[in-house]
Structure 1
Amino acid sequence: MMRRARVFLWPLLLVVTFCARDLRFVPVPAACRSRRSFSRIAARAEAFTAGDLALGGLFLGFCGAYLPQALGLNGRAWQAGNIRYFTNRGTAAFSEAARTLAEKHPGFQEDVVFTYFDTFQGELPYMGRPARLVQLISREVTDVYDHKRGLEERLREYNCASGPFAETYFSKEEALAASEGEEAVLFFAKAPGESGGRGIRVLRREEVLSADISSDYVLQRGVQDLELIDGRKFVVRFYLLVYDHRIYLHEMGVLIVHGARYDPTSVEDTVQVRHDWYDDASDTRLLLLQSVDEGPRWREAIAAQLRAAAPALAPLLAASSTSRYVVVGGDALLRSNGESKLIELNMYPNLFADRELVDDQVYKPLTEDILSLILFNQLSNRFEEIKHED
């Protein structure tokens, strides 16, 4: 802090020195105090006053614009035009969105700092004292939704467990009892805190009882009657914004298409689970939800299940405000009958794929629409509000 002050305070010293050099009074002898002398003195005084005001204005401008940065009074927030923001995820997308919106709104003057900062990596740094500090909803509220066992508990609490999400069980006995007589059913044993396909084992029903899995795992019933892309299973990654007591589903999404051809009875990782699209040697590929002909129908099928599950999101809505929000990345499958099944929710998605197609056509418009709503109260037509239908 002191080092930063020493580096940046030298312009202040220059301003003070420059001002002080003209503050000299030369006594006027009594004999010279004629009317003409007083006129000359008055003229000089007027000139001095004008210069003094100019320097004073410069000094005040310095104090208002430069000193807060020199002393860290504005915190660590970044700035694009008049938009202040700070992130530790999705930084490229949010930075591009902030620059775009700063150009669109050059006169923006609200004293607000927007942050997309996951506190799992530590506390949010000091952001100064803005009138409005926009933050993610606390992990005390969101962690339960990020945890597969916790999510199922919340769904059961609000009577939403049957229907919107794939059926999920807390024990082997519960899973077997619910599937009695269905020998072809598969189960996905999932570690409660993992995502992206990590920690998943695919089990046939007859393997469940003898499987060596931790007691905190959940067993999710496989959705086997699937719509396919080129004969392959795919997962839809969709994005929700929970803000100011409302839920919005965004138009943009990603299709993760598996590399191996689909077999509904297969327990192979490449067929059912593997999402290694980031590996150049993998056959897994990414498509844009909005780029395929079936995209609007699939999105509406997902929206229908979200409306059914909306009561279970009540704690998120209650914790949201104009200063608290959360972005949710959800996964869904499409059944052959046109219905969707939600698989899981992921709080604080990365919003970065290192794939130009996805970064430019999904994450950039998504983050721009998030900032437009939160900072400018402008709701994009790419957002659809999700409301529970009784």
Structure 2
Amino acid sequence: MLRSGRHTWELRGWRLDAGRDTLGLLAVVRGLEALKRRTRAVVHCPQAREASKRSEGSGSASPDLLDRFTAQREGHEIVWASGAEPPEGGDGDRARELAARARDQGVRHAQAQRRRVERPSKDTIEEAVSAFLDEQDDRVSERVFDDYETVLELLLDSLDTEGHLALEGAELRRFEEEFERDEAGVFCRLFGPEKIPEHIGGFLGSVLAVEATTSRVRRVAGPLMRELAEWLAREYGLPGADVEDMLVSAEQATRDLPAADLLLKRWKALCADAPEPGSAQVQGTVRERLWVTKVQPGLITFWNPESDDDACDILTFTVPHQISNLVRIGWKIDTKAVLVDNQWRMIQIGTVCT
């Protein structure tokens, strides 16, 4: 707990191989390292003071930790308080609560590591995602965690729905046999996390556009998938190429999903403001998912893959630059458009798949 006047900052972490004094010193060092300028710091942690005496021949802290403490002692004015309890009511209790949560996180991590050592590469997708989510619980706010949980539940549902489409041979037969016994969540409880990366591009680009209920959830999806990719590489040793593909998809989603939400908002407003043409004026109507094939300032060109009519095969729309600047080639957009005076006009816009 760092406090300056009315402002507080909370940090937490865990080390299962360190004693109480070393943990106290580590907490102090981490807090001092978080400060951006020279500060007079009053420290309420007798354990850290005991551990810092190693430089004088006692204590049990590692040389590396002592070096870090020495560097901070030279950069700040450190005052050791006589008591462990800070004067502000509740700070001590809050610090102990944070420590308990960090300890529990460390225990869960150790248990997961031990399980992976005892039966390497045998965790299911369901178990791996649950372990990843457990680690996030102590790291992010409650609201962000809820959004993470929503995205990961959608990912599991998507894998259970479509993951089997990439299976063949013995894996496909294994899936079909298990599906006959119990179809609920079969893909994610049958296969391991190595099956996740190949699915991420489609999940972020299409599934989220349809299933995610809020733009806030879509905004966190890209950064969350980046964290998941790095975690899977670290915890399960996924091949570098698979992780790189997942990271590329995550970066694209971080950029494209918020842009798609803004596009939808702006183009809907444009449709609402435009007068609806009379039936006598309409030369043609398209109600399809169109593919963006060309983007120019103020112009967007679509291909209609469902068209049997050359006049409705390629559609070009004149739009404000604030709309065309958001669109990217390859996006697919659900639309209703009409041809009036030989110009296509958007009447309705729906799901945007990136």
Short-chain TM bin: under 0.3
* TM-score, with structure 2 as normaliser: 0.24
TM-score, scaled relative to structure 1? 0.23
**Larger Cα Rg: Structure 1 or Structure 2?**
1
Greater fraction helix: 2
